Amino acid sequence: MWQAVLLAFLAGLLAANAYPHFTKGITAERFPTVFGSSPVVNVLAGWSGLALAGLSLWGAHPVQHPGWVLLGLTVGSLPMAMFHATGRTIGARD
């Protein structure tokens, strides 16, 4: 059971991070990543993150542990969502 929560937490983190990158990429907007900020880089980073989130979620076996997986997803997505909501990037100075 704890493996399901951990994998779901990871899936939530990855998906919450991948979504804005993929969205900015497909709308041809620049958005910072560790690999650059071009739209193509964002599409690739977002797609990779969503694929890894899907694999993590698959490994969590959500059919066997639905409540625990939902808890892991929600708790995992919150810190990344808050990170993106603040608008801060790695290396940014106030």
Do the Cβ atoms of 56 and 8 come closer than 8 Å?
A: yes
Burial zone of 20 (CB within 10 Å; 0-12 exposed, 13-18 middle, 19+ buried): middle
Reply yes or no on whether the pLDDT at 22 is more than 90: yes
pLDDT in tens, 45-83: 999 999 999 999 999 999 999 999 999 999 999 999 988
Among 14-18, 58-62, 87-91, the range scoring the smallest mean pLDDT is 87-91
One-letter-per-residue 3-state SS of the chain = CHHHHHHHHHHHHHHHHHHHHHHHHHCCCCCCECCECCHHHHHHHHHHHHHHHHHHHHHCCCCCCHHHHHHHHHHHHHHHHHHHHHCCCCCCCC
Q: Which two tokens stand for residue 23?
A: 């969205």
Reply yes or no on whether the pLDDT at 15 is more than 60: yes
User: What is this structure's pTM?
Assistant: 0.84
Under the banding of pLDDT at 50, 70 and 90, the label for residue 87 is confident
